[in-house]
Amino acid sequence: MHTNHIHAHFEEFDRNGLTCSEDESTYNECFGGIARRLTKVNEIRAEQTNPVLLDGGDHFQGTQWFTYYKGNASAHFMNRIEYDAMAPSNHEFDYGTFILADFLKKVEFPVVSCNIDITETPELDGFFTNSVILNIGGDDVGIVGYTTTRTHLISAPGDFQITDEITALKTEVEKLTNQGINKIIALGTSGLDKEMEIAREVPGIDVIIGADHHHFLYTGVPPTNAGDVTGPYPTVVRPNDNDIVLIVQTINYGKYLGLLQLTFDDDGKITSYEGNPILLDSSVEQDPETLTEVEEWAVPVRALGEVVVGSTYALLDGENPTCRAGECNLGSFIADALLSEHIEFQGDDGWSDVSISMINSGAIRASISPGEGYSQYIILIGRYNRKKWIGNTFINDPYG
């Protein structure tokens, strides 16, 4: 079993990943949520032999739950569902290393990544491991983590280095095979194209549980409103005449639970496989005890989300096709607002030490409709790469 890109979606949500209304709930148009996922995970654990639950990262960022709790809610509910391992992705670093370190202190499962060099970030020392060996039904299975090298471009990871995934994976997989481990799963989020390259270039990997770009892999006729299918589940790569590597991932927010069933022979070769992402819709009951917990945790989150922060007469367009391709009015508005906040009068012979404002388009994720703007919708820009121009140098601005 596997998940990725949950993005702080603990409650059930509508088809767009937003708060599920009473009407949508009444007409069974809500999906996901930790209580529904726990029901399905426990059902599979009861029915299947040797179940394992893994996560490819990006639990952080995405709703007011993260704004209020940072990583605390993720740690609590991931422990509740009893994940076996996780790999950190780029959004785990959006608020720097100390918020991540606090999350890592609380989780009760290994967090794996073989290509993170934390020499310059002692606050993360002892919280990461390159890989972990799980004993599954009497067999040792290696779980090797990796993190996208794009993290420094799209997040705020601090001073540590992220090395090339393929180089690091080759080293760690060889280390595991030298220990006699012949069943190895690579876990991370570098995107489907990169993961197909990993499958071809790194000998010894059997399965890659990947993600990024929110690709949807599915075999057969997908559920209604599933979105575009990128490829089959699993996607099969044949690096040579004798081996296969299976690549799987699920789309974002926990709308689906990935389920891949595998059989290995004594030499660690995959002899059979089947599976598909499972849609977590109203046909899956929400675990009552977990749902009660979610409701308790949600009280301050909902209060925070009802704060009116402003209003607009016009649609502030923040959609991907617009803002990623050129200028959009929401991007211009955000840049103007940042400039207005930072301009300070410097006296009669000066103006301001901040005269230009820029916002990276990737930090804008949705539009704001006309009317009052509630804070539950104003989570469009996190701390991704906030910088100030001082003299002739960009510097990180960890507070502003």
Q: Where are the domains of the chain?
A: 2-279, 308-396
Q: How far apart are CA 78 and CA 81, in angstroms?
A: 5
Q: How far is CA 389 from the centre of its chain?
A: 30
Q: What is the dihedral of CA 352, 386, 164, 190, to 10 degrees?
A: -140
Q: How far apart are CA 362 and CA 356, in angstroms?
A: 19
Contact 342, 354 (CB under 8 A): yes
Over its length of 400 residues, how does the chain's per-residue pLDDT go in tens digits? 999 999 999 999 998 888 888 888 888 899 999 999 999 999 999 999 999 999 999 999 888 999 899 999 999 999 999 999 999 998 898 888 899 999 999 999 999 999 998 888 889 889 999 999 999 999 999 999 999 988 877 677 777 789 999 999 999 999 999 999 999 999 999 999 999 999 999 999 999 999 876 789 999 998 876 678 989 999 999 999 999 999 999 988 999 999 999 999 999 999 999 999 999 999 999 999 999 999 999 999 999 878 887 888 889 898 888 888 889 999 999 889 888 877 766 666 666 667 788 887 877 877 888 886 655 655 544 443 344 333 333 333 333 3
**H/E element, 331:** helix 329-342
Q: How far apart are CA 146 and CA 90, in angstroms?
A: 11
Phi, psi of 387 (to 5 degrees): -140, 155
Terminal-residue alpha carbon distance, the chain: 39
- Angle, helices 72-81 vs 288-305, to 10°: value is 170
CATH of the domain spanning 2-279: 3.60.21.10
